[in-house]
Each structure stands twice: as structure tokens, then as C-alpha cells.
Amino acid sequence: MTDTARANGVAVVTGAAGGMGQEIARRLHDDGHRVCLADIAQEKAQELADELSPDGSTACAIRLDVSRREDFVKALDTLTDQWATPTILVNNAAVTRAADLMTLSEQDFNQVLTTNVDSIFFGCQVFGAAMAEAGYGRIINMASLAGQNGGTATGGHYAASKGAILTTTKIFARELAGQGVTVNAISPGPHDLPIVHQTVPAEKLDQVIAGIPVRRLGDPAFIAKTVSLLADEDAAFVTGACWDINGGLYVR
């Protein structure tokens, strides 16, 4: 793979129709990558793709159910035929829900845990294999502070799933390191996103913000910048890492 191909690679962002996914997709597109916006809400993802690239030459949207391995396989085949083997994968899609821990139902627990962990595992497995064959790739998994400290405002199922994502990141980082593919995670704390405001009642959110050492919510644009940095060709010596962006809520 040439340096030009790497600098102007093919990036896939799952959950790209939502707030954080949109920020990440915009940033990677601004960096000069062709960007595939993958989401189960394809129509909404297509709106952003049309905005980024009216002629479809540098941005596209595909429907991807991240709980299904076969959807990742289809997405890989489609993108390889349309553009090239993806060089960047951002596993951003997740189900975010608040729930009472002691009354959490089996169905809700399984749905959140399975969807969130399967999405990372299958993404790393399917796209990671293709990247390894090509000899180059950058995978960034979106974890969460909840997976490190047990959660501040989300449910136990969400926190458990994000903890599993951190372990999955290490597994694939070790597996793919010798083939030019890095795998890293980002663990954001509470950020100024629609999903945060939808999940956490306003009065509780004020309490959450008061408990953040820096006394504010995070900026999603900075998460996108961090993704951009980890997706850079020069980030070859960073793998299996977790980058904490949490306003001081979790210090290690």
C-alpha cells in the first residue's frame, strides 16, 4: 500500500448517523479520507454523506446492523468493490440506556451487552483480517468511562459491555500488531451530546456535571480529533491502548 493510499484511505464509521459518529465522520473526511457512514439508520446517514460529498465520490452511507457479523462482511465486500480495502475502522455504534441495576431484565441486559460487544468483536474480526492481509490498518473502538468505573448515570448492562470492549481491544491489538494493524480504544466520560441529554434527566445531569473535576461536559469535537490522531499513519507505535477523556472522573 502506498503512502498516498494510506493518507487518503477509506474510513468506516459505525453509528455515523448519531452525534459522536457524525463528529468523527466529519473529521476523518476533513482529513482527506473517503468515509463510509455505516448505520442501521441508513437514511439519516445518507443525509450526512450527501452533505459531505454531493457526488458520492468521497462519502457514502450503508446500512449496517452491528449485531450481525454478516452485515460487516457485506459492508467490507461493498466497500472493497466500490473504493478499496478500508484502512480505518471506528467502532462507534452502541446501545446506550439507563436502567435500575437490581430490576434490570434479562432481555434488556442481553440486548445491550450483546449488541455493544458483538459490534466491536465482529468489526475487529472482519475488517481487521482484511487490513492484516493488506498489511496496514487503524482500528479505534469507542469504549466508555462506564466500563472503567462502573458507570455514573448509565445502566449496569451498558457499563458491563464497555468493560468488555476494553478487553476485546487488547485481544485484537495483540493479534494484529505484527501485520501493520493497530487497535486502540477511547474511553469518554460524559460529553455534550444529544444521547447524554436524552438518557440523563436534566436535574440529574446537573449533579453529574457538578461531580466532574473540570466542572463541564466534554466536547465531542475533541474526541473526533483523538480518533484522527490514532488513525494517522504515524500512530504505528500505539496499540492496545485506552485513551481516557473524562474530565478527571477516572485517574490512573
Q: What's the predicted TM-score (pTM) here?
A: 0.93
What percent of the chain is modeled with pLDDT above 70? 96
Helix axes 106-134, 69-82, angle to 10 degrees: 30
Q: What's the CA gap between 174 and 170, in Å, rounded?
A: 6
Instruction: Give the span between the Cα atoms of 130 and 80, in whole angstroms.
Output: 10
Mean of pLDDT over the chain: 92
Domain boundaries, the chain: 3-245
Residue 126 banded pLDDT, cuts 50, 70, 90: very high
Give the Cα separation of 123 and 71 in Å (integer): 10
Neighbours of 183 (CB within 10 A): 30
Question: Would you state the pLDDT for residue 206?
Answer: 87
pLDDT (mean) for 38-54: 97
Domain 3-245 matching CATH 3.40.50.720: the answer reads yes
Point out the catalytic residue in the list 14, 158, 163, 169: 158
Task: Let me know the angle formed at the C-alpha of 141 by 138 and 143, rounded to the nearest 5 degrees.
Answer: 155
Q: What are the backbone angles phi and psi of residue 185, rounded to the nearest 5°?
A: -125, 155
Sheet holding 137-142, edge to edge: 59-63, 34-39, 10-14, 88-91, 137-142, 181-188, 242-245
Question: Could you tell me the pLDDT band of residue 5, with boundaries at 50, 70 and 90?
Answer: very low
* Rg, Å, the chain Cα set: 17
DSSP 74: H
List the grid coordinates of 57: 465520490
Report whether pLDDT(124) > 90.
yes
Find, among 196, 177, 173, 178, the residue nearest to 120 by Cα. 173
Q: Residue 207's closest CA among 193, 190, 187?
A: 190
pLDDT at 152: 62
Mean pLDDT of 105-127: 93
Q: What is the pLDDT of residue 41?
A: 96
Place of cell 472522573: 249
Mark whether 136 is an active-site residue.
Answer: no
Q: 204 vs 33, which has greater pLDDT?
A: 33
Angstrom distance (rounded) from CA 182 to CA 224: 17
Largest CA distance in the chain: 54
pLDDT surpasses 90 at 140: yes
Grid cell for residue 211: 461531580
How confident is the model at residue 2, as a pLDDT?
Answer: 47
pLDDT of residue 4: 44
Give which of 222, 227, 225, 228 is closest to 246, Cα–Cα: 222
